[in-house]
Amino acid sequence: MPLSWIDTHCHLDAPAFAADRLAVRAAARAAGVAHCVLVAVERSNWQAVRDLAHATGDSYALGIHPLFTPQAQEGDIAALRAQLEQWQGDPQLVAVGEIGLDFFVPALTTPAARARQEWFYAQQVHLARELALPVIVHVRQSSDALLKVLRAMPVISGIAHAFNGSLQQAQAFTALNFKLGLGGAMTHARALKLRDLAQRLPLDSLVLETDAPDMPPQWLYRTAAERAAGQPQGRNTSAELPRIAQVLADLRGLPLAALAQATTANARAALRGLPACP
């Protein structure tokens, strides 16, 4: 029987897929990706993400991404509460996300921008806690600040998306009932720290993701110089997940079937309502 996978984080609603969205999802399914979690980033795309998840039979999460906090309005939190309450009975709603903190982008690290990020993040964690929903958190040079809020307001479970922190930070997330998302970044030969972490972390702490169309794996990535020379960057899609999984299996010396079984179980533990893929 072919292996089945869950892509725990993708943006199928993104403009990069405007011309062939459903074909992209069909290709991923043909490659063995049985289920995807479609993750929203701002108020304007909540409905589109939900509609798309229902069209494809996938799951979805609603939230305000830290990179979108500069244009977000405080009233968006009340609107998010209303949407989550309205659709709380929808089995395809699996989390509040993508939320979190990004201390990598310089424009978001000024005192005012950082405070704004932290306010939106805390408000959304509070909503998730109140409504008993998991969270999907964006982690970029922000693990300790994310963990501080989660310790003060524990949620039922969650995923640390695109995790690239220390072993100690990984252990702190898993102690709070979080799984750690690994994707295309792990496939790059120069990502020595992340690849070492992928080998050392307990298998029951890991889930797979693509972040499509972002976070391209090594075989799709082109440097700025290569792009300037006319080499196009390959488009990352959920269909890349099995190949990403093979990289992780090779790093861990693990049969691919065992990895598929474990990461599916881990995804279902982190996010309510995900199907049991064979």
Return the HEC string of the chain: CCCCEEEEEECCCCHHHCCCHHHHHHHHHHCCEEEEEEECCCHHHHHHHHHHHHHHCCEEEECCCHHHCCCCCCHHHHHHHHHHHHCCCCCCEEEEEEEEEECCCHHHCCHHHHHHHHHHHHHHHHHHHHCCCCEEEEEECCHHHHHHHHHHCCCCCEEEECCCCCHHHHHHHHHCCEEEEECHHHHCCCCHHHHHHHHHCCHHHEEECCCCCCCCCCCCCCCHHHHHCCCCCCCCCHHHHHHHHHHHHHHHCCCHHHHHHHHHHHHHHHCCCCCCCC
* Predicted pLDDT at 254: 97
11 is in an annotated binding site: yes
Q: Tokens 């790059």 sit at which residue?
A: 188
30-78 pLDDT, tens digit per residue, is: 999 999 999 999 999 999 999 999 999 999 999 999 999 999 999 999 9
Q: 126 a known binding residue?
A: no
Give the pLDDT score at 278: 52
5-270: CATH, from 3.40.50.300, 3.90.1170.20, 3.20.20.140, 3.40.50.720: 3.20.20.140
Q: Does 9 carry a binding-site annotation? A: yes
Question: Domain-by-domain residue ranges, the chain?
Answer: 5-270
The pLDDT assigned to 83 comes to 98
pLDDT one-digit tens code per residue, 211-269: 999 999 999 998 888 888 888 888 999 999 999 999 999 999 999 999 999 999 999 99
